[in-house]
Each structure stands twice: as C-alpha cells, then as structure tokens.
Structure 1
C-alpha cells in the first residue's frame, strides 16, 4: 500500500462520503447556468502556435487552430495573459492593460480571435492580473518619482527611516523577501512575487476604480469572463505588523498563503467588483484560490454573497510534495489521501456555491507525468483514466492544452534549459545555500518546475513539432514524433479521440454535471470508485490509479445497465467483483 504523505493542510474526512441518500428527493440540484456546464480549455499563448517564425506563439496561431479547438467539444477558452508586458514573468507582469503584447500580435488580431471564437460558439475568458502590475507600468513609474506623487498610493511603500519592514514573502526572489529597497525615494515597495511585479494598493479607491474601468472595457469588447490571478491576495493589512511563525500556526494554519488571502477588506472589494462590473454581464468569474480553505471557500462563491462564480483550490495539486524541498515529489503519494481531498472539497459545494476540477495548468507539471504514468506502456491508458476523472466529477473541469494528446514533462537536464522565473530563483537559493544543484535539477524533472507544462504544443512530426518555423522560446519535448495531434487525430482509440468522447458523454448526461457525488470504499489503495446521481439517473465510475491489476467488490455492479465508456476493450466482472487492468477507467450506467 502506498504510504500517506502529510500535506501542509489538515484535512477532515467527510463523514457521509460512503453513504448515498435514502431518498433521491434529498439530492440538491444547483441552479443551472452555462459556466457550470462548460468544459474549459486553457491555452498558454506563448506555446500554442507560432505564425511569424519568432519562436513565440501568437494570437494568429490560435486563430489558425480554431477548427481544432472547436473539434474538442469544449465550450470556453481561458487565455493566459496577452496584455502589454515586458515579460519578466511571461505576461503576469502587465505594463498596459489595454494593449496586446507585441510578441502576440495586435488588438486587431485579438478582435479577430474573439469574433472567430464567438462565430464557432466558443467563449473567451481572459486572465485578470490585478494583485500587481509590472514595474514598467506608468502607474509604478510615477509612483517611484517622489513620495508626494499622485500615484504614490497606487502601491505599497514603506519609508526606510522607519527601519526595515516586517518580513513578507517574495515568491520569485532568491532571498525570499517581498520587499525591495528603492533608493530614489529611500523606501521599500511590496511585491509578493518578483521585484518586477509590485503589488497594487487596493486600499486606495482610485486603484480599485481604475481596475473596474479596465474590466468593464474588456467585457464591453465582448469577452466572456475573467480567471482572476491570486485574487485573494489583493487586500493587505497596511500596518504591516510583524508576523511570527506562532502567529501563522495559530491563525493561518501555519501558511503564508492563507495569511496573504485574509486581508481585512478582501470581501468588501470583491462585492464592490461584483456590483461595479460582474453583475452587469452574463460572464464567468474564477478565483485562483491561493490561500483558500474549505472553511473559507463559500465566502468567495456563495451566490447569496454576490462576489465570484467559482474558485479553484491547491490542496489537490499540493499532494505528495516533500516538505522542505522545492516541489520535490514523493512518487508514493497516497490515492487514499487524493480521494479524501477531492471528496472533502466536493462536500464544500454540496448545497451552495460551485467548484472546479483540474489536474494541470501553466503552473504545474504535465498531468500524465504527475498523476499517471508517462512510460510508453501506460501513458495512453493513464492519460485516458485521468481524463475520465476530470470529466466525471462535479464542478467545472479545466483542461490544459496538450493534455488531450498526453503531453509529458520535458525532463530538462540543465538550468539553462529553463525559462521560468520561479525555477531559476529557486535554483539560485540552492546555490547560495551550497546545496546539491544536480539533485535540484533531477527533482524538477518530475516535480513542480513550471516549464514542464509550458513546452510548445506538439502538432505533428515536422521540425519543432509544427509549432514554429523558427527557434522555439522553450525547447520542444523530444517525444513529439510519438506524441502529436496529427497522429492522434487519425487514430480512433487515441488519447485525443478518447477526450472528445468523454466530453460528449459529459454533455449528454447532466448527471455528470449536476449529480450528487458519493465516494465508495474510501480506503481502497488503488481504485477510486464513486457514483453520480441525479433524479433517476445513476452512474458508477471506477478508476484504477495503479500500474497493476486491482479489484474491488461493489454491490452497485449488480444493477449495471450498460458500459458508457472504457479505456480498454472490455472489463472483467465476477458477480459483484470488478477486476480492473492497470489504469483502467470505466463508467457504468446503473439502476
């Protein structure tokens, strides 16, 4: 049995996760809306398709692939930032909110993309980055000039004559500090991420209304919503008190991210944002929920609070990291704990609000390398199994580009291969501490290095996988001759075509969207089994997360009506015992 790896957070078992309601009428059906029923496809523009040969993906590249995107059956495209930016953090450092990054194209290109998507029945969601800007944004340039500049209070400044400010973390800095000294005005400014990303002062109403005006500008242009980057961090205690580890342990579960997500006026600002912007449009709003806990999640997404539509948590993707090491994975992460996390979070939204489900994105390793098995023998089976999980759980699924063909981690051998600001900063920390740099690189091959999930899309077997005619900004994965869209498109049982089939199954069966979720045999070490129930519809989902045969006894199988999907050709059933092959995924319709 796999051993259980403790997480940063303590999880409490949902006491009824193995019980189904005695009366089907007890099942609560949430109000229906398009963003609950959508499958969201995330595109990292820099890596999707390059049309001008500069090695960087662009908007015209996305336009050229709209037929492919539509063929997936998805409903919404979430674009990572494409705003004007000097690109210190791949666009998450914005210098102009109403412009397009030159590498990506022009506003005319964007307008053509939006029009083309809407003509195909697709919706477009933008990445909203408003906790911070670039240090090259005009607001910050003005803010730096003098202490009495009108833009000074657009950011958080601490005068040096008061001494060094109390520690705050800076995620992308080698020294770990979130304060940067600026000699021009003899003061420190706050940056929770890179020093190139100074934090905005949301306590200033002028800042808030600048942001709301910008959001309204994009929504009037016709976009369909926002994914909100680190939105729980926008509110700060501007007295910047000293925070000790004891304070963190007592009040914030021992975690800095929970502290940073607990600003005194956070929900005032989100309610104001809803009133000034979101409530005026039929749009979706997603909080990147760093620091969000099960106990606080509904504060963001309970419909009665009039804040946001949904948020996503980090508990699932944090599973299995070894404490004290930068995103180093223990390969023996526990499926029992995995099931507990997702069952507990489903329970949060059982009666109110709405959740999300994801296993990969631009900040994570590739889904099949992290949660499945990317060896040639099992890559396809485990990728299909993970897709089955994502598209059969309650909550809006977010699916990352390339995962639909089973793209894998890059397994880079040198720090020179990386472009990600976070990985490079962590490498420098290890170097400064005299640590084992080679071991750090080995850890990133399977762990959390963000560039694992950012390698260029593998379209075909031509040079650079058909991504670019130039030199790609980040190396193409070496396995592109075996893993690419062209070959999978023409193979009926490919990962790609399985994804399309699973999307179709979800759309044709509201039980997979709105149905109640019930975990079965929580302690089974290999198999994740659960039912989905909506009125007279009931489905049984069985997922073998292991690389060996495994079996499970379930009385539910005795009422099996039919097999709806299976990533193998058959399934072995003996009375009430189901024998599953390695990484087998099956969905049954049951009475």
Structure 2
C-alpha cells in the first residue's frame, strides 16, 4: 500500500494528542532466519505481542543497506535493506502488517552523514573536480613550521579523535562528526539537499512509512565561520546564508578544555548552526508537509526552551517534536571522556523533567516527547534506580510510572517493558574510541585511576547495555533465535534465567511486563490527566522522592504521582491544593499497598482527586 501525497498536512494529526512509541533495534529484537542476527521477519512475527502491550507506534532503527561500522548509522544505500535483515519485499510487508494491526511505523532518517561506501561519497572522493565533490566537506591540510601535516582544526568527534580524516586519493581531509567511515554531507549544497529529500525521505513516505526519528537533526548546519566580535551577534542570529565576503575563519578551533589531548569538544560548532532552521523548514516543505507523518528530531546541546520552541512550535514549521539529552546525560560527564561517571542528584533529574514538560503546555503550541531508554542509552533501572535482585522489579515499575504519567508522547525501548538491566560488571563492554582513548591516556600519564574511573563509567552508561538481545524466554540464548545453536551477534545476558524474559512474565500478573500493559491502558483511560494534563512539581529539593500532579486542562480533576527513588522508606505530603479539591482515591500502588504510610523502597503510588 502506498500513501497518496496530500496537498498539505493539517493538524490535528494522528500523533497530535500523544502517541506511545516502541523502539525496535532490529539486530537485537528477534532472529527469525537462525543466523544469530535479528531481522525484519522476526519483527513481523512479533507484531501481535507489540500490539498486546498497548503501544501505538513502532520506531524501527536503521535497517538500510550498510557496512555496519556504526551499527547501521553508516548507510550505503537509502533505498535498500541490510541483507541479513531481509529485503525490500520484507520491508514492505512489515509496513503493511503494522498498519493492519492498527499501528503506525517510523523509520530512522540518518542524513547528517552516510557511509563512505555510498556511491555519492565514492564519487566525491574520486577527484577534486567530480560534480559531487562539494556534496561533502573537504579541506586542505595545515602544516606546522616543521612541515608536519595537521587536520584543519582541533574538533573532537563524538567518539574520540579528530573530526577530520585524511584521504590519500585527493590529498585532502573530509569532515566526520562520528567514525571516519561516516562522512558528513554538505547541506549548504542545494543539490545535495534535494537528493536527500527524494532519495531518503519521500521514497519511504510514498511506501507508507508514517514518519521518522531524525538522527542528529540539529547538526546539518555547521558553525564553521568565526565572525569578528563587532558582527558576531548578527551572524549568530542569522537564519540564512552567511555573508561570506566578510572576514571569517574557516572551521575555527574550539576552545581548549582538555589540554592533555589535541582534540577538543566542539558541540557549540557542530549543532544549531546559522542555517539550521532554513534547512529544517525546507525539509518540511519539500517532504513532510505532503504526508500525514511525524517528524521527531534528535536535539543535543540545546538546553534553552526558546531555542527548542524555535524548532518545534507550530509557528516554527520545522520539526514536530524533539528528543532531548540533558536528563539522560546527568550521570556521565561529557567533555574529553563522554562516558566518565558523574554523581547526579534527583533534584536535577526532577528539574529537567519539569523543564521538558513545559513543551506540553498548550500556550507553547508545541509537542512534548519523553523517554528514559533508547539504543544510545544504558538501561534505566541500572542508572536511575536499583538493579539489585531485591529491588529491580520495584525499580522498573516505579520508573515506568514516572514515564507513563508524563504528558505528550513517550518512547519505550525494546526490553524496557520486562525491566532489562545493564550487563554484569565483569563483562567486557566496549565504548567506541572512548575506551581506547582512556587507556592510551592513562598509559601515557601513568594515572591508573583513569582506567578504573573509565571502566566504572562504561559499566554504567555505555550504549552496548541497550543492544544486547531481547530476552524472550528461558530457553537457550533467551529464545532470541529460532536456531538454538546460532551464536547471537551480541552476547545474551544471563539475567534471562532469573525471570527477566517475556514468557515468564506473561504468566505472572505481578510482572513488570503486565504492569506496563496496565499502565499503558490507564494512560489512555485517563488521557485527560496522563497525556494532556498540566504538570506541577512539588518538594523540588528532595533528593529521595519525587512528587508531581497532573491536572486536566479544564481543572475538573487531578492525579498525584509519588515516587520513591531510594531503598529506604520515604514520607511525603499531599499538596494543600489537592486536599482542598477532594479526598484522594488510590488508583494504584506498585507494591499493591493501600496507599497509606510512607513509600516503601522504590514504590510508586498514583492518587486521583
């Protein structure tokens, strides 16, 4: 089935009052053909299970043709499928069957960069005169007084090392924010942009896809020119082409904040550049506006409400909603070693939740999107509560209560619904270049503690924790593959033998899985409170518990959500405004209590007023 393009999308759309999105990371979801790697057929066969959860939408992470250097985020053909996952017929069947179950489906849109094996880049690197040369960022080397070659500037990639890679064929550097095999597109080239819109966007919308999660959506415009101070503000606020005739420095160095390495964090240059809104509006006009679809963009390094609204308010005409990073970055440091552990405070977690919920306020004319896990984040139970055997079920239910009572749309990541946890501390979890960089720097400096601190951070926040196979049952390798003798592409965690698997939890009415089902049903039953309600945070300085209310827009009723983020009993007070409304009625307790007395360890309660 193919969507016929409409004249222009008109709100409200299918997602406008909130949708529950379930993210599928295809390599780790379900292996149907028995090769140890998840595939599209495995997802198709599990659609009845996903429907039974009460979700509305599936977000499928990259499944396109790719060398898989960065697990599919290095795409070599936007119009083909990674062969071990299936083929185009399988993909079309998936789209159609998702719709037959009454669900929507989002694909990943990865167009800040592509694979170095994509035909466009192969042409670009073939010669300096190739017509596609300017489709990517190429720059000559810099040479020091001794004639030693250096990259054009000191920017650090998101994974460590320089953002510049030397190419022997044409003897120039090309730009890559991530791994060297992911060259960045030059969005300043209008021909490149049009090729992206047709090749990667409308191609799939025409085949029935209901929208996209847009990878690194605020990195398309590079802040590559440093303006003189007298005109800096004007340049910073500009939305159109910079007046290049003025005096600018091409790709200026980032400030040195990590003096022990030549490569410096450069998020301020890589994100929210001067032409970003122009590009996002053009993408919407050229593609999204012709379909009833959802555009959900990643938005790192953007902590200001005004800036976020400039992308997602209805007047902005750019994105529909954004994935924010600040709350998920609380427990690691960023900077030179992004995964280094950092102590976090619940008061800051709550402040960031309150900040994000402002996007659900009707006066802001925007849409709020919340999550606590995805393919780039470690498991929430291990990070924000407790994965100790005696606490992990209570922790999973408490965190799901938090997430599923927030207004707007929410994302549930595969395995989150059964309370999957981080890998054990004795596992060898890699973290791209960061781990190698830490070990090399520790050896050079003789700082043995650097390795230990780095290992501790990786054990807590490395993204591989979220990429282990989904645990379906208690058979060999958690039933991930139809072939029990197949070696999974990534090691299966032993916790599947301890009740963290779908089959065991299906038969347990008190399981995390069945709690998620009940919560998703309650979320829809009390839509006026949990999806559309006004959020108000209380007791903001408390570092052990979280208390917030959700009030219907007409003020007719309210809910009180109380959450214990600690292993000790915690008392709380019902806000006076709610006491005056009525006597609260316990909707549920995650520990099946009567709602009286202090909260038990990692307990959550919800009251209706």
Give the TM-score taking structure 2 as reference length.
0.86
Is residue 569 of structure 1 aligned with residue 554 of structure 2? no
Going from structure 1 to structure 2, the CA distance change for 1:245 and 1:124 (only over 3 Å counts) comes to same
Deviations 1:67-109 (A, max 9, x none): 1111110001111100110000000000000000011111111
What are structure 1's unaligned runs of at least 5 residues?
Answer: 1-29, 249-253
Going from structure 1 to structure 2, the CA distance change for 1:389 and 1:258 (only over 3 Å counts) comes to farther
Deviations 1:468-510 (A, max 9, x none): 2210111001111111000000100100000000001111112
SS state of the match for residue 369, structure 1? helix
Residue 236 of structure 1, CA deviation? 1.5
Going from structure 1 to structure 2, the CA distance change for 1:397 and 1:560 (only over 3 Å counts) comes to farther
Give the structure 1 partner of residue 491 of structure 2: 475
Give the structure 2 partner of residue 7 of structure 1: none
Is residue 499 of structure 1 aligned with residue 480 of structure 2? no
Q: Distance in 1 between matches of 2:142 and 2:136?
A: 18
SS state of the match for residue 549, structure 1? coil
Whether contact under 8 Å (1:571, 1:579) holds in the other structure is no
What are structure 2's unaligned runs of at least 5 residues?
Answer: 1-10, 144-149, 226-249, 259-263
Is residue 184 of structure 1 aligned with residue 174 of structure 2? no
Give the TM-score taking structure 1 as reference length.
0.88
Is residue 245 of structure 1 aligned with residue 252 of structure 2? no
1:452 to 428, 453, 465: 465
Give the structure 2 partner of residue 328 of structure 1: 340
2:277 to 267, 272, 289: 267
Whether contact under 8 Å (1:405, 1:495) holds in the other structure is yes
1:212 to 186, 190, 197: 197
Is residue 316 of structure 1 aligned with residue 344 of structure 2? no
Give the structure 2 partner of residue 222 of structure 1: 208
2:600 to 567, 577, 581: 581
1:51 to 7, 13, 32: 32
Residue 433 of structure 1, CA deviation? 4.0
Residue 425 of structure 1, CA deviation? 4.7
Residue 553 of structure 1, CA deviation? 1.9
Going from structure 1 to structure 2, the CA distance change for 1:81 and 1:165 (only over 3 Å counts) comes to same
Q: Distance in 1 between matches of 2:452 and 2:163?
A: 27
SS state of the match for residue 103, structure 1? helix
Residue 204 of structure 1, CA deviation? 0.4
Give the structure 1 partner of residue 155 of structure 2: 168
2:266 to 249, 256, 260: 256
Give the structure 1 partner of residue 181 of structure 2: 196
Higher relative contact order (CA 8 A, sep 6+): 1
Give the structure 2 partner of residue 17 of structure 1: none
Residue 312 of structure 1, CA deviation? 1.5
RMSD over aligned Cα, in angstroms?
Answer: 2.2
Whether contact under 8 Å (2:76, 2:116) holds in the other structure is yes
Give the structure 1 partner of residue 539 of structure 2: 521
Is residue 63 of structure 1 aligned with residue 81 of structure 2? no
Deviations 1:423-456 (A, max 9, x none): 5554565466455485256414542211111100
Residue 354 of structure 1, CA deviation? 1.4
Q: Distance in 1 between matches of 2:251 and 2:268?
A: 16
* Larger deviation, residues 432-441 vs 78-87: 432-441
| Equivalent residues in 2 for 1:343-354, closer than 5 Å | 343-350=354-361, 351-352=363-364, 353-354=366-367
Q: Distance in 1 between matches of 2:333 and 2:270?
A: 23
Going from structure 1 to structure 2, the CA distance change for 1:365 and 1:262 (only over 3 Å counts) comes to same
* Larger deviation, residues 500-509 vs 403-412: 403-412
Q: Distance in 1 between matches of 2:463 and 2:257?
A: 31
Residue 136 of structure 1, CA deviation? 0.5
Whether contact under 8 Å (1:413, 1:441) holds in the other structure is no
1:277 to 260, 284, 287: 287
Give the structure 1 partner of residue 368 of structure 2: 355
| Equivalent residues in 2 for 1:262-411, closer than 5 Å | 262-294=272-304, 295-322=306-333, 325-330=337-342, 332-350=343-361, 351-352=363-364, 353-411=366-424
Residue 525 of structure 1, CA deviation? 2.1
Q: Distance in 1 between matches of 2:392 and 2:159?
A: 33
Whether contact under 8 Å (2:405, 2:531) holds in the other structure is yes
SS state of the match for residue 218, structure 2? helix
Q: Distance in 1 between matches of 2:127 and 2:368?
A: 45
SS state of the match for residue 41, structure 2? helix
Q: Distance in 2 between matches of 1:444 and 1:36?
A: 37
Deviations 1:338-387 (A, max 9, x none): 11111122225522211211111111111111111111101000100000
Q: Distance in 1 between matches of 2:35 and 2:276?
A: 41
Give the structure 1 partner of residue 452 of structure 2: 439
How many residue pairs were aligned? 547
Q: Distance in 2 between matches of 1:124 and 1:138?
A: 28
Whether contact under 8 Å (2:586, 2:594) holds in the other structure is no
Going from structure 1 to structure 2, the CA distance change for 1:296 and 1:440 (only over 3 Å counts) comes to same
SS state of the match for residue 168, structure 1? coil
Give the structure 1 partner of residue 550 of structure 2: 532
Whether contact under 8 Å (1:414, 1:441) holds in the other structure is no
Q: Distance in 2 between matches of 1:464 and 1:35?
A: 40
Q: Distance in 2 between matches of 1:566 and 1:57?
A: 36
